[in-house]
Amino acid sequence: MEIWNRHFECMDRKGIKNVQSERLRETVEKVYFNVPYYRNRMQEAGLGPESIQTIDDIAKLPFTTKRDLRDNYPFGLFAVPMSEIVRVHASSGTTGKPTVVGYTRNDISTWSEVMARTLTSAGATRNDFIQVAYGYGLFTGGLGLHYGGEKIGASVIPISGGNTQRQIQLMHDFGSTVLACTPSYALFLAEAIQESGIKRDELKLRVGVFGAEPWTENMRREIEDKLSIKAIDIYGLSEVIGPGVASECPVQEGLHINEDHFYPEIIDPETLHVLPEGSTGELVFTTLTKEGLPLIRYRTRDLTKLTYDKCKCSRTMVRMEKCLGRSDDMLIIRGVNLFPSQVESVLLEMSEIKPHYLLIVDRVNNLDTLELKVEVDEAFFQDKISQLEMLRQKLQNNLENALGLGIKVTLVEPKIIERSEGKSKHVIDKRKF
Amino acid sequence: MIIHQLSIFLENKSGRLTEVLEVLGEENIRITALSVADTTEFGLLRLIVSDPEKAREILKKQNFTVNLTEVISVMAPNEAKYYAKILKILSDLDISVEYTYAFSVGAKSIIILRCSNTEDAIKALKSHEMELMKASDLYKI
C-alpha cells in the first residue's frame, strides 16, 4: 500500500499535536492581524494571539458559520490582499448569494498535496488514467481531483460531469482506470454501460473515488458490484479547501482526515461543547495552513464521529466515520448544496405564487430528482392554460437559475400543502441513505 | 350578453371533478354546460351554472381555486357552417377565440366563446344578426 506523504500521514500522535499547535498559533496570528472580523470576534471574547499556545487552547476561540461567510460576502474573510489570490471557487449559499473561497498559490499547492494523498490512498499511481467526471468550474470537485491527479503524475482526463455517452466512449477508448464523480452518477454510469453493450472486460476501470454527496454502504456495494471496482469515499467542502479534507484508505474503516492541514473537532450542535472521542456530533474544522481563506472552528453541519486509533494501513491520521446526517436543513442534490430557504426567496419574488411549497427529493434510476409543488395565488388565477403553463415555466426557469439545479415545478390547488404550527414542513426526502 | 362562467383549477387527481360536482349538487346548483381542458399535470374545469356567484362562494369555502370568467354565448342551428360563420366573423376582425365549446338543444346549438375582447365580439356578432343569448336565459337551461 503506497502512502504519498509518510512523514505526516504516519506521524506519531505527539508529533501531530506539536505540528498542529505550531500551525494553529500561526493561523490565529494571521487572522488576528489580517481579518478584521476575526480580530473583533477575538477581542469580544477577551482573546489576543498570545491566548492560543497549544492546540488544546482552540476551544477558547469563537465558531465560524456559513452565515459569517455570507455576511462578509464576497471577500471579507480573506486574509491576504487580492493580488495574492490566484483562484476563487464558489458554492451555492442560503439566499442566492454564493459562498466564495479564495486560494493563494500555496493554497493550491496544499490542495494538490492533500488530493495526491487522497488518490494515492485510493490506490492510484502515475500509471493510472483518471477520468474526472466531477463538474469543472466554480464547483471545487473537478479542479480538486484534477490537480491531485497531475501531482501524482497520473494521466488526467478532464471530461467534467454529464454527457454519459462520451464518458463511456472515452472510458473504453482511453482505458480509464480511475473514475472520480459523485456516487449517484457512478451508479447511473454503471447502468448506462450495461445498456451500451460494452463488456466489462473491455474496460480497464479498477477504482472509483466518490464524494460530494452522502451515500450508504449499500450504495457502495451496488457500485462495486455493478462496475467491478473498489469504491473509495472521499470528503471535503469548499469552505475548508474542497475535496481532499479526508479520504478512505483501502482498509475502508473510516476516512483519514489530513489533520496536519485541517484540525477537526466534534461538538454538540445545541450546547456547542466539544464532545469526547467516539461521540457523534457536528464536525468542526480549523484550517492550519490556509492563507487565502483561513477558517477558525468552521461549523460544517455534518454529523459524524472521530477515532484516533491507529489504522491497519499504518496511517496515524484521525479517522471520521462516513457522514450521513446534517445538523441543519441543507440538502445535497447531485452534489449541489441546497437550502429550502433558497427556494423560498425565489417564490417570494414572484407575486403570482404563494410561498406555500413542498420540495420532494427522490432518487430515480440512481439520480437525484427535485420536484416543487407550489400553490397558485387565487388573485392571479385565470382560466387560460397557456398562462398557467407560462407561469410554471417562468418559475422553473427562475429556480434553475437561482439554484443551479434542474427542478420540476408542479402547480397545485390551494391548501394542499400541509400547514403546521410554527415551521411548516417544506421538504420530503424520499432518498434512503 | 356577458355570461359568467366558473373556471376552476384542478389537479389531475382522480375524484377531484366528482368533489366539485358533489359540492355544487348539495346546494342545488344546476349545470348548463361543462368543459374540461387538461394538461398532464392540471386541468381547468369550466362550468355554466344556474347561479355563478353563489357557486363561486360555495367552492371558495371548500378551498377550490375558482374565478368567474366572462364569455359569450350564441344560439345557432346545429350545423357546422353556422359555427364556422361565427368564427369567421370574429377572425375577420382579428378577435381571437381563446376557447369554445358547444352543446345542442333540439335542432339548435348553443355555442360558448371566450374571446380576446368580449365587447368587440358582442358588437361584431350583433351586427351580423347573430342570436346572442342572455345570461339569465342560459342559466335557466
Residues A144-167 have pLDDT tens digits of 999 999 999 999 999 999 899 999
A121 in the same domain as A62:
yes
A220 in the same domain as A72:
yes
Domain presence at residue A378: yes
Domain boundary among A303, A328, A353: A328
Query: Longest Cα pair distance anywhere in chain B, in angstroms?
Result: 45
Q: How far is B12 from chain A (nearest CA, A)?
A: 9
Task: Determine the straight-line distance between the first and last CA of chain B, rounded to whole angstroms.
Answer: 16
What range defines the domain where residue A166 resides? 6-328
Neighbours of A166 (CB within 10 A): 10
Q: What pLDDT is attached to residue A423?
A: 46
Domain presence at residue A256: yes
Q: Which domains does chain B have, with CATH numbers?
A: 3-69 (3.30.2130.10), 71-140 (3.30.2130.10)
Quick one: which H or E segment has residue A220? helix A217-227
A165 in the same domain as A135:
yes
A256 in the same domain as A228:
yes
Q: How far is B10 from chain A (nearest CA, A)?
A: 7
Mean pLDDT throughout B94-113? 93
Domain presence at residue A388: yes
For A366, A418, A419, A433, the CA distances from A428, given in Å and listed in that order, are 17, 12, 14, 14
Residue A408, helix vs strand vs coil: strand
Please report the ipTM that was assigned to this predicted complex: 0.75
Task: Pick from A383, A384, A393 the residue to mutate for testing the B interface (most B CBs within 10 Å).
Answer: A383
Question: Are A287 and A274 in contact, with CB atoms under 8 Å apart?
Answer: no
Q: What pLDDT is attached to residue A382?
A: 76
For A259-271, b/e burial (b = at least 16 CB within 10 A) is bbbbbbbbbeeee
Domain presence at residue A418: yes
A310 in the same domain as A166:
yes
Contact call for B41 and A411, based on CB within 8 A: yes
Domain presence at residue A324: yes
Which chain A residues touch B66 with a CB distance below 8 Å? Answer: 378
CATH label of the domain that carries residue A366: 3.30.300.30
Domain presence at residue A377: yes
d(CA A419, CA A416) in angstroms, rounded, equals 9
For A26, A320, A343, A404, B47, the CA distances from A401, given in Å and listed in that order, are 41, 35, 11, 6, 38
Residue in B16, B42, B69 nearest the CB of A388: B42
Contact call for A410 and B41, based on CB within 8 A: yes
Going by C-alpha positions, the residue among A30, A14, A22, A41 that lies closest to residue A316 is A14
A352 in the same domain as A289:
no
d(CA A247, CA B76) in angstroms, rounded, equals 79
Residue in B16, B37, B65 nearest the CB of A414: B65
- Does B39 or A101 have the greater pLDDT score? A101
A133 in the same domain as A248:
yes
Domain boundary among A302, A328, A354: A328
Going by C-alpha positions, the residue among B136, B79, B129, B89 that lies closest to residue B109 is B79
Q: Which residue of B has its CA nearest to A379?
A: B67
Number of folded domains in chain A? Answer: 2
Q: What pLDDT is attached to residue A96?
A: 60
Domain presence at residue A137: yes
Q: Which residue of A has its CA nearest to B115?
A: A384
Contact call for A413 and B9, based on CB within 8 A: yes
Q: How far is A399 from chain B (nearest CA, A)?
A: 19
Q: Tell me which residues of chain A have a pLDDT lower than 50.
A: 420-423
Domain presence at residue A383: yes
A307 in the same domain as A159:
yes
What type of residue is A68?
D
Q: Which residue of B has its CA nearest to A409?
A: B41
A86 in the same domain as A45:
yes
A341 in the same domain as A293:
no
d(CA A136, CA A139) in angstroms, rounded, equals 6
A359 in the same domain as A275:
no
Contact call for A378 and B65, based on CB within 8 A: yes
Grid cell 495526491 in the structure block, residue: A116
Written as one string, the DSSP assignment of B100-125 is: EEEEEETTEEEEEEEES-HHHHHHHH
Domain boundary among A297, A328, A359: A328
Question: Are A154 and A123 in contact, with CB atoms under 8 Å apart?
Answer: no
A307 in the same domain as A399:
no
Neighbours of B38 (CB within 10 A): 12
CATH label of the domain that carries residue A250: 3.40.50.12780
Residues B109-123 have pLDDT tens digits of 999 999 999 999 999
